Each structure stands twice: as C-alpha cells, then as structure tokens.
Amino acid sequence: MAAAEEASRPFAGLSDVSISEDIPVEGDISVPVGSTRRDDEFSTLDEPVKETILRDLRAVGNKFIHVLYPKRSTALLRDWDLWGPLLLCVTLALLLQGGAADSDDQGGPQFAEVFVIVWFGSIIITLNSKLLGGTISFFQSLCVLGYCIMPLTAAMAVCRIVLVGGSGTVSFAVRLAVVSVSFGWSTFASTAFLADSQPPNRKALVVYPVFLFYFVIGWMILTFSPSQ
C-alpha cells in the first residue's frame, strides 16, 4: 500500500487542473469528406444501367483505337476485359459461315473451329509467355491477343465483299494483299503491347507462337470460299 501511494503521488495534483474557457482550443477534429467523395465517384452500385453499358462500350472502343494505332502502351494491360475479344471472335466465326468446306453440315464445325483456334491458341501463347518468365497476367495476355484479331476480322469482312464479284485471279490477289496487311498489323500490334512484359533474351520465343497464331487465322480467311 505504501508503495502504491508513493507511485501515485506525482499525479495527485492533476485532478484539480482545469482548462479555462477563455483559452482557445486549437486544432481540427472534423472528419475529412474528400475520401468519401472519391469513393462515391468510383462506385457503380448506384449507377444507372445505361451509364454502365455506355462506359463499358467506350472502354472497348478505346482499346480498338489502341489496336488501330499500335504503340507501346499499358492501356490494354491495365484495363483488360474479354468483351472485345468475344465480340471479335463471334463476328469472325459468323463471317466464316457459308463456306464451301462446311456447306454439307450447315457450318457448325466451322463456327466451333474458330472458337477453338482463337481461345485455345490464346491460352497456349499465354502459358508459353508465363513459362518464359513474362510478367503479364493470364487475362491480360488473352485481352491483348483477342483485341489484336480486329485487323483480321476487318480483312474477313473485306474478303466477303470481294468474293461477291467472283473468285478469280484478281480476287485472290486482292484478298492476299488484304490478309497479308492485316496479318502483319495484328502481329505487330500484339508484340508492341507484349514486348515490355517479356525478358529481353526470350522475346523471339514469345513472338514466334504469336506469329503462328495469327498466321493460322489469316490462312483460314484467305482460303475461305463461299458455297455455290
């Protein structure tokens, strides 16, 4: 007891200390609202469905623009999505319908073939990139490879228009030029986005599967012939 009284003796006079009302108390204890406002700006829970759809469509359109003007950018990697690749894959599969090779079975295998080549090929290239030490994530790679199909999809649309006038030598030459340009465009665009995510001494091992991937799709487009 004596030891406890001696320990509390230095603080014995603090109970009688009072703060005068004339002395101003400085400081701000209000809660800042800036962070709450910032969170509200990025919240989409109360956003109308129309605004959400338009925002997603603008994001997809911006990625298409990045593919049209390929340069080393992180836009496709930072804000990745799979809506654009899915749209391009479905469009390409629909454009490849009605060919002479699948006229007997109403085009079912051709549609499935496009999906298998695009998605399975993208997965293989992504796994190859990761095994070689790439820093890009799985879905980021799928996003880039899928969006860069856009030049080949546009080439398929042009080839369908050219084939309306016939399938002679001139038609084949025009289609060959269109497919070659779109193939080079797709390959260059994809490597431009993926270049910085690969080790410098292994970039060739990553580019080669990408080359084969777009070459197979380009070959499908070039050899397409409408059913009679």
State pLDDT tens for residues 75-110.
556 777 888 888 998 999 888 886 555 555 544 446
Which two structure tokens, joined as six digits, stand for 113? 């073939």
Segments of the chain scoring below 70 in pLDDT? 1-45, 71-77, 98-110, 227-228
Contact 154, 182 (CB under 8 A): yes
The secondary structure of the chain, three-state, reads: CHHHHHHHHHHHHHHHCCCCCCCCCCCCCCCCCHHHHHHHHHCCCCCCHHHHHHHHHHHHHHHHHHHHCCCCCCHHHHCCCCHHHHHHHHHHHHHCCCEHHHCCCCCHHHHHHHHHHHHHHHHHHHHHHHHCCCCCCHHHHHHHHHHCCHHHHHHHHHHHHHHHCCCCHHHHHHHHHHHHHHHHHHHHHHHHHHHHHCCHHHHHHHHHHHHHHHHHHHHHHHCCCECC
pLDDT at 217: 92
The rounded mean pLDDT for the chain is 76
Contact 133, 202 (CB under 8 A): yes
Whole-structure pTM value? 0.71
Separation between Cα atoms, residue 180 and residue 186, nearest integer Å: 10
pLDDT at 190: 86
φ, ψ of residue 97 to 5 degrees: the values are -75, 155
pLDDT at 38: 47
For 102, residues 6+ apart whose C-beta sits below 8 A from its C-beta are: 108, 109, 110, 227
pLDDT at 164: 86
Residue 75 region by backbone torsions, left for phi larger than 0, else alpha for psi between -120 and 50, else beta: alpha
pLDDT at 84: 86
Q: How many CB atoms lie within 10 A of CB 138?
A: 14
Contact 221, 154 (CB under 8 A): no
